[in-house]
Amino acid sequence: MSRYRYPTFDRRKSRRNSPKKRRRKRMARRVIPIRGDGNCLFRSVSYCIYGTQEHHREIRLRVVDRIVEHWHWYKDFIIGDRSYGFHMYSATDYRRLMSTDGEYAGHVELHCVSELYPEYTFKIHRDSFPKTIDYGRGRHIKHLLFSGYVDAGHYSVLEYY
């Protein structure tokens, strides 16, 4: 007879076989290919919201306008960031660079997207990384797959069914 009153369990097994993990394994996913022309973040968001990639330019311009309008909120995350490939010193510099088609967008722009579309939550998945980064708190959850490096990668859309 065991000296413990309650049965013990191995926490590693319980986490590995949690209902959430079992449910995720049952769900199949499909990667929606997104054109890799530098607009992939905006194309992915366009696909999630409108069902087509064609509204990427409109979304890009809305994001740029919001960041420039609220430059005092965003500037500390943009000025000095080397991933833009251009030294940003002002909102004018940002608008000039990011308004052009094909310019890479990252976390700042994704955060802004979540503010512009508050009814959506964007979950960012990484290749072979179990955790997600969530942007927004909306009731419609959309999944994006980020592959590549932090400042040079590609966004695709994940659909679970």
pLDDT in tens, the chain (161 residues): 555 555 554 555 555 556 665 555 556 789 999 999 999 999 999 999 999 999 999 999 999 999 999 999 999 988 877 676 777 889 999 999 999 999 989 889 999 999 999 999 999 999 778 889 999 999 999 999 999 876 678 999 999 87
CATH of domain 28-160: 3.90.70.80
Residue found by looking up tokens 């088609």 in the block? 101
Residue ranges per domain, the chain?
A: 28-160
What pTM value is reported for the model? 0.80
In this structure, what is the dihedral angle of CA atoms 68, 74, 76, 77, given to the nearest 10 degrees?
Answer: -110
